[in-house]
Amino acid sequence: MEALTRECLGCRRCELAATRTHVVVGRGNPLARLMLIGEGPGQHEDETGLPFVGRAGQLLDQILASVGLDPEQDIYICNVVKCRPPGNRKPTPEETAHCRPWLQRQIELVNPAVVLLAGSTAMTGVLGIKTGITKMRGQWIEQEGRAYMPVFHPSFLLRNASRQKGQPKWLTWEDFKTVRARLDTLETSAQSSETLH
């Protein structure tokens, strides 16, 4: 991961290199079993070089903490594109394609059991799914030995702040509880196979 980070910091494969302040590679634990992939850096991320550190990131950390997941220890967080698209526009398919090898190597290095795809850009960018996020969120998609789950993007939750049952925020908490339960199951089976061996 250190080598990848070093290489990625010098990337000039697309025009986002010209307007970025920092390349935003990732944060958290590269050995975690859980990974979250967002869309791309915003202003705070571009300024600091770390993903999800603005308001959306604070909400994400809060959601993780509420299900007992430590944002430093229990997850590795990154984005589909590593450089900020000017004005926070969505990354283009070309930018996403140029950045894909970096993301692919991150997935392989972290080798997570569970991958959260935050928002439709990540869902489409990573799995090619074009069905709406509202339909897909909360569902497990098993692929190449990993369990992927699309979830609402934290920025979307900031714009839809109601906690009422059935609303996006409530649904997202349900999704993260489901994720936590799956991670707990992995933990238990890892322990019982250690006992067996």
Q: Give the span between the Cα atoms of 137 and 118, in whole angstroms.
A: 9
Q: Is 22 exposed, middle or buried (0-12, 13-18, 19+ CB in 10 A)?
A: middle
Site mask, ligand URA, residues 60-79, x = CB under 6 A? -------------------x
Q: Is 52 in the site for ligand URA (CB under 6 A)?
A: yes
Q: Give the span between the Cα atoms of 109 and 106, in whole angstroms.
A: 5
Q: Is 98 in the site for ligand URA (CB under 6 A)?
A: no
Q: Is 133 in the site for ligand URA (CB under 6 A)?
A: yes
**Tokens 């970025």 sit at which residue?**
20
Q: Is 85 in the site for ligand URA (CB under 6 A)?
A: no
- The residue (of 69 and 157) whose beta carbon lies closer to ligand URA is 157
Least separation in angstroms between residue 177's CB and ligand URA is: 18
Q: Is 91 in the site for ligand URA (CB under 6 A)?
A: no
C-beta of residue 117 within 8 angstroms of C-beta of residue 150:
yes
Q: Give the span between the Cα atoms of 186 and 114, in whole angstroms.
A: 10
Binding residues for ligand URA (CB under 6 A):
38-42, 45, 51-52, 54, 56-57, 79, 119-120, 133, 152-153, 155-156
